[in-house]
Structure 1
């Protein structure tokens, strides 16, 4: 592998190897730029993935200490695990569920379309759907997304058949097995899906798209990317000119190093990104880097979520086939007559028995709970994914009491459900139960949200530096060579699963960054 000197100040330094960081790295090396990527976790190959949920969790997950506070269910159900994200090369996309819907036009303009929503920090994005559409196209082509650009749809598994038949009975019209970022047939050097049901534990077959099987090996093949694993960033440093000039990081043995850089890009997820910017505070930036607006860490979003499980007289085997290859779009519209603004998707969800028993009724016990476990093979599942309201008080801060293995303050993730979120969730629960009852469910269960996989909004983009952390290209308003390349730059959450939009935003960012370098600004 290519090695760059720690003193080489001509490299672009990217923190995080998930979809945002890996996408940016590939675009830069293709333009001849030198890139160093820091990944806090190890390289785990597809061959080393373990098709066992409990072992896979230990192998792939970010388990560093965190603290959940607020009224959301996670503060009581899983106070030490408010989020579920990867600490491994490829990031959370090594075990993501794979759905890739696009944002809708109105979701880029929530303040204008929804109006003033009490106790919500709604704002319009400084970009619109038309600007992002070419990058959506490019992202879908890179992923090999089903149902798009001539790619075939995934076959229907039993869990989807239950969902689709129930949707039809309720009069819904827009449902399908995707768009979904797993190959139906061989594409881009990867095989077609085996329908093996284990993608959330890491897809051994390589059919499911992730940076581990796509962007990272392609970038490494150019000879211009150096990937440093087990390397956790602890501080972004600034030069006398006020620009970012490097990153201090800890290696696997806890030894600190500093890599010089011409450009620094944060792609660490909407929890770790603000945490690092806050811990990098200086005399000139006492409240954290890129935080002159006071918005850093604020407006944390994680989607309005919940699960509806339905028990049937006959076998369903929801865990067979792709785990989330089913989506109902009809409720993703904006229709305030339902009692809330924004919308939500109904998405099929499949879980192995360990996670099903953990999340179906957290801390459950007794005869009713065990009877639901016994009905596992006869159970279908639906996940709710809806637009939650950004609130300045929902935020990531540095804990005053909890520290990580490096002695740094752990992130405290505070989240209070907005009344709009609660109304949307109740509506979705009701519709989900109706859908399953319409096709013969004998019992339904409303399960709360699981540790958050969609972490968004803590470094929001804005047209004005007074209103956010970065501009429409993810460039920090306060530090021109500091970029953010993950979901923390979302101005609002929309209803769609976020990975496709993260990738599209970063493709647009990469073009801008290269143009800034060409004209000598960077």
Structure 2
């Protein structure tokens, strides 16, 4: 383990957040000989400490600091204080994620060009292409042990998948399999294969699922170049007279505030906390917050077009046994406007335990239909819709005018309205999902509204031109050369795919860029 770096050591790179972006970036830089201090707002909870119980694990892992919501989305009604289901602990939401690891499609990097001008949407092409990203995707898949890549076999299909597969093939879908999952299907890199325990969202006790908590972070620490500080919540990023960032003020577990000096600062706190931190770091020189000359910090919040469909069958399914996200249908991920919307969506198996099923089935509902569904829990199969939602400038993370957190900082407010394209896509996905299950004898299907999502994207988006976004194609702030964004908030658009693989690929690429620029003396 490295000796702690001094608070006044201004040669270090400070990374804020230890999830898919921050944890990966920290390790990649450490491997290149760069000294890194990684600040993580939450505690360090190791594998053996995970609780195989939904409610207890939710309380143990989740980011439950005060947040507010606005807009017409159902989450603002059902879960107003929980706009997103993300983790506050070392490893970030890679502790909680399901493991699905899909590459963006070529057209999704060029959404504005491909989809055209869609009214109400703030579409923009990425300043990157799939061809540029492919070598980095390959590195990420190898690092994460993604199934169906690098000759790694797919995971076995549980009953939930078998029902999905049979129905999907019956209605003519072809791209149906157990997914590209960063969960070991065979022993790899010192970690065993998946034991099919079924608590993927509660932290993988066996360590078969890739998480920065027990892959990237220990590897980085072993170099002596990485120090992870848990219970260290970043409050503001400071800058010098020249306008370059020079440190991060953070609160320790006891609430005491400290400042870690820095040569470079990389923000990887998720699409809610990252823009909030930049906005809270306003000063006389940057009155609207850091990296915000465009006024784009916090804007274009995306969460994917989601929803779930559950089906009751005559015989038991026991969908909760095995991996949570056990398979996928990809036929609808294409761009095909004959369906009535731009972009596409994935259908992925999803199983919630009894407590979460009761909370999320149709929040606030009681009575006969709710009781009927819960009584049939053992005979139920389920899936989750993941589709490309439209970026909208009004969908935004802003600082609350009066509400403050435990450190006296304005809390974030998350405003979201579905775009008409999102609603059309969800309706199509609901219809197709019911058809899948009905094709194999479903007695009844339930369409459930979107839950608080771990897919939180945009808010510090990449752009070719500084006026259109916050960072360039390296995640480097247009306004401040030694400030980077290293998480899903840099996404220009969301694609139909689960975002973690792209976040990791971008982090590996960004580390290469930062280390190179530091060596040249440009940072």
Superposition TM-score, scaled by structure 2 size = 0.99
Report the Cα offset of residue 401 of structure 1. Answer: 2.7
Determine the structure 2 residue equivalent to 1:49: 50
1:130 match: 131
Tell whether the 8 Å contact from 2:52 to 2:199 is kept in structure 1 after alignment.
yes
Inter-partner Cα distance in structure 1 for 2:80 and 2:467: 33
1: distance between equivalents of 2:483 and 2:380? 48
Q: CA deviation at 1:38?
A: 0.4
Q: Aligned with 1:501: secondary structure?
A: helix
Q: Which residue of 1 aligns with 2:39?
A: 38
CA shift for structure 1 position 402: 2.0
- Corresponding position of 1:426: 427
Aligned equivalent of 1:101: 102
2:160 aligned with 1:154, yes or no? no
Inter-partner Cα distance in structure 2 for 1:407 and 1:281: 15
Residues 288-326 of structure 1: CA distance to partner in whole angstroms, max 9, x if unpaired?
100001110000000000000000000000100000021
Partner of 1:307: 308
Matches within 5 A, 1:357-396: 357-396=358-397
Counterparts of 1:72-471 in structure 2 under 5 Å? 72-471=73-472
1:314, 1:399 → 2: CA distance? 50
2:143 and 2:353 map into 1 onto residues whose CA distance is: 29
Q: Write the distance in 2 (CA, Å) between the matches of 1:26 and 1:254.
A: 27
- Equivalent residue number for residue 481 of structure 1: 482
- Asked if the contact 1:99/1:325 (under 8 Å) is kept, the reply is no
Q: Distance in 1 between matches of 2:382 and 2:474?
A: 38
d(CA) in 1 for partners of 2:223, 2:102: 31
For residue 446 of structure 2, give the secondary structure of its aligned residue in structure 1: strand
| CA positional deviation for 1:114 | 0.4
Q: Aligned partners of 1:404 and 1:176: how far apart in 2? A: 44
Q: Deviations over 1:16-65 (max 9, x none)?
A: 00010011111111111111010000000100100000000011100001
- Deviation >2 Å, runs of 4+: none
CA contact (8 A) 2:255 2:407 kept: yes
Aligned length: 522
Query: Take 2:165 and 2:285, find their aligned partners in 1: how far apart are those partners?
Result: 56
Tell me, yes or no, if the aligned pair for 2:300 and 2:392 is still in contact at 8 Å: yes
Question: What SS class does the counterpart of residue 134 from structure 1 fall into?
Answer: helix
Matched-pair contact (CA < 8 Å) for 2:34–2:515: no
Cα displacement (A) at 1:134 = 0.5
What whole-Å deviation, never above 9, does each CA across 1:79-127 have from its counterpart, x for those lacking one? Answer: 1111010000000110101111110000000110101100100010000
Spell out the pairing of 1:49-68 with structure 2 (5 A cutoff).
49-68=50-69
Would the aligned equivalents of 1:237 and 1:247 in 2 still touch at CA under 8 Å?
Answer: yes
C-alpha contact 2:109 2:126 (8 A) present in aligned 1: yes
Secondary structure at the counterpart of residue 384 of structure 1: strand
CA contact (8 A) 2:300 2:395 kept: yes
SS of the residue 2:466 aligns to: coil
Shift of 1:519: 1.2
- Aligned alpha-carbon RMSD (Å): 0.6
Q: Corresponding residue for 2:21? A: 20
Which consecutive residues of structure 2, in runs of 5 or more, have no partner in the other structure?
A: none
Deviation, 1:283, is 1.0
